[in-house]
Each structure stands twice: as C-alpha cells, then as structure tokens.
Structure 1
Amino acid sequence: MNDAHLHIVVNHFPIIGTIFGIGILVTGLLLKNNSVKNTAYVLFIVAAIFGAFSIATGEGAEKIVEDFPNIGKAIIHEHEELAEKLALVLYVMGGFSLFALFLSFKKNSKEKLVSFFILGLGIASLFLIQKAGTSGGEIRHTEIRDDSTVSASSNENSSVQKESKEDNE
C-alpha cells in the first residue's frame, strides 16, 4: 500500500467523522445527555487524529499523482492549502473536545459553554470540509471539475508534455 492509497483510505474519516460528530453533539445538547455529548467529543478527537494521518500521507500521494495526465500541480496545491486549513480547525476542535471531556468528567459547569463553542467551530468547519473534500475529489474525478479547472490543468499538462517531448528530441 503506497501513500496515495493510504491517503484515500484515511482522508474520508475527518470529513464524515466531523459531520456525524456535529449531529451527535446537537443531539446530546438537545437531550441534555452527557454520554451522547462525550461520544461527539471522542468522534472529534478521532477526526483530528485522522486529519493528521491525511496530512501526513498527502505529500506522498502528491508525488505519486502530480505527473498523471489531466491533474497538474495547481489543483493539487489548491487541495493542499484547503486541507491544511481544515486540519488546523480539526486540531482545535479535537483539543477543545479533549478539554470538554475533562470538564464533563469533573462535572464542571463550563462544559456546556465549551460544547457550544465546539458546535460553532464544527458548523463553521463545514465550509472547509466541503471545499477540501471537493478539491480532493477533483484531483482524480475530472467529471466533477468546473470547465476552467479542467482546461487549466489540461493546458498545464500539455505544456509539460511538450517540454518533455522537446527534451527527448
């Protein structure tokens, strides 16, 4: 299993885990159930860990696919930038979730305030989740790209191919 394969395996969990975590946290807040909220916190922590794995395998995946036809460095760079921002948000959410778990076990009244902060951060992260997930999908799924991205990466690859042909002659 190479880095590209590992990246594909681990990169979905931060997205799906965060979305499920938001739903579970909302449910826990509505039901006023600490066990349900604690489940959401654990899910956010695990999503942050998988986010770190995704970032760690992303560089190796980039090296494998960057020279494939119709991909190009620009689309990979865009995905990389969005993924790094998302990872930072996930790390913050994971850190606050760890703190919220501690407060919950200590029965501290501040836990509810922290849970609303985590919920707000989670909802705000949905924008980055959508952007990073879509840009990652566009790397290999050219059918979901808009026309400008396809033509830009095709032109970039065409110029790279022309240069390599000229070098070979």
Structure 2
Amino acid sequence: MNQAHIHLLVNHLPIAGSLFAAVLLGVGLLKRDASLSKAGLVAVLAAGLLCWPAQLSGDGAAAVVQGLSGTSPALVQAHATAAELAFWTLEATAALALFGLLLLKNASPKARLLAWATLGAALLSFGLLARAGSMGGLIRHTEIREGLDRPI
C-alpha cells in the first residue's frame, strides 16, 4: 500500500463527515435541541481531525501519480491548491466548534450564535472539500473531464 492508496481511502471521510456534521448541527439548531447541537459541534471537530490523514498523504499521492501516463501536472496542482484551502477552512471551522463547545459548557448566551456561525462555516467547508475531491477525481478519471464526447 502506498501513499496514493492511503489518500484514496481517507479523503472521503472529511467530505462526508463535514456534511454529516452540518446536517446534525443544523437539525439541532432548528429544533433548539442542545444535545443535537452539541453532537453536531463534536462531529465538526471529528471531521476536522479526519481531514489530517487526507492532507498529510496528499504529497505522497501526488508523487505516485506524477509518473503515470495521462496525468496532468496542472490538474494535480489545481487539486492540491483546492484541497489546501478546504483543509484550512475545515480546521478553522473545527476551532469554531471547539470554542462553541466551551461556550456551551459555560452556559454562555453567545453559544447559540457561535453554533450558527459554525454551521455556516461547516457548509462552506463541505462545499470546498467536495470541490477539491471532485478536482482530485479528474486527475485519473478521464471519463469525467470536461470536453469529452460522451453519449447521454
């Protein structure tokens, strides 16, 4: 198993995790359910942690695919740039979630407002992560690249 295998195994976790966390947090906030909101904030933290293996295996995966025929260095670079932005956005979102949990623990009246901000950031993180994942798929899946004639 090489870095590309590891990257392919773990890169879906933060994408799905951030969506799950956003849905959980959103439902908790809309229902005004403190337990669900807290679970959503914890899920955001988990998604932030799950993003680390994907980020750390990215350079190794890029090194593996650089030598393969049909691999576009421009696509690899575009994916890496998008992935880094998504990674840091999710990490900032996880920091918001941690701060929100601390406010909840201290029964701060600002906890709910911060939870709403965390939800917005989690949705942004999901969008950026999904975009980075899609761009990563373009590297080796030529069938999904733009400009190819394909029957409908």
What is the TM-score when the length of structure 2 is the normalising length? 0.91
Identify the residue that residue 23 of structure 2 maps to in structure 1. Answer: 23
Deviation readout 1:93-118 (Å, 9 max, x if unpaired): 11111111111122111110101111
1:84 correspondence with 2:79: no
Deviates more, 1:42-51 or 1:24-33: 42-51
Q: Equivalents in 1 of 2:63, 2:5: separation in Å?
A: 12
Identify the residue that residue 58 of structure 1 maps to in structure 2. Answer: 58
Deviates more, 1:56-65 or 1:130-139: 130-139
Identify the residue that residue 152 of structure 1 maps to in structure 2. Answer: none
Q: Which has the higher helix share?
A: 1
The 5 A counterparts of 1:30-69 are 30-69=30-69
Q: Which amino acid aligns with 2:20?
A: F
Deviates more, 1:77-86 or 1:31-40: 31-40
Identify the residue that residue 145 of structure 1 maps to in structure 2. Answer: 145
Once the two structures are TM-superposed, the CA of residue 82 in structure 1 deviates from its matched residue by: 0.1
Deviates more, 1:122-131 or 1:11-20: 122-131
Q: Equivalents in 2 of 1:145, 1:50: separation in Å?
A: 28
Q: Which amino acid aligns with 2:59?
A: E
Which 4+ runs in 1 deviate beyond 6 A? none
Q: Equivalents in 2 of 1:81, 1:43: separation in Å?
A: 25
Q: Equivalents in 2 of 1:103, 1:109: separation in Å?
A: 8
Alignment coverage as a number of residue pairs: 148
- The DSSP-based 3-state class of the residue aligned with 1:71 is coil
- What 5-or-longer segments of structure 1 have no aligned partner? 149-169
Identify the residue that residue 6 of structure 2 maps to in structure 1. Answer: 6
Deviation readout 1:67-94 (Å, 9 max, x if unpaired): 1111121110000000000001000011
**Quick one: percent identity of the two aligned structures?**
33
Q: Equivalents in 1 of 2:56, 2:64: separation in Å?
A: 14
- What 5-or-longer segments of structure 2 have no aligned partner? none
Q: Which has the higher contact order (CA 8 A, sep 6+)?
A: 2
Once the two structures are TM-superposed, the CA of residue 127 in structure 1 deviates from its matched residue by: 3.3
Q: Equivalents in 1 of 2:34, 2:140: separation in Å?
A: 41
Q: Equivalents in 2 of 1:70, 1:143: separation in Å?
A: 12
Once the two structures are TM-superposed, the CA of residue 42 in structure 1 deviates from its matched residue by: 1.4
1:97 correspondence with 2:101: no
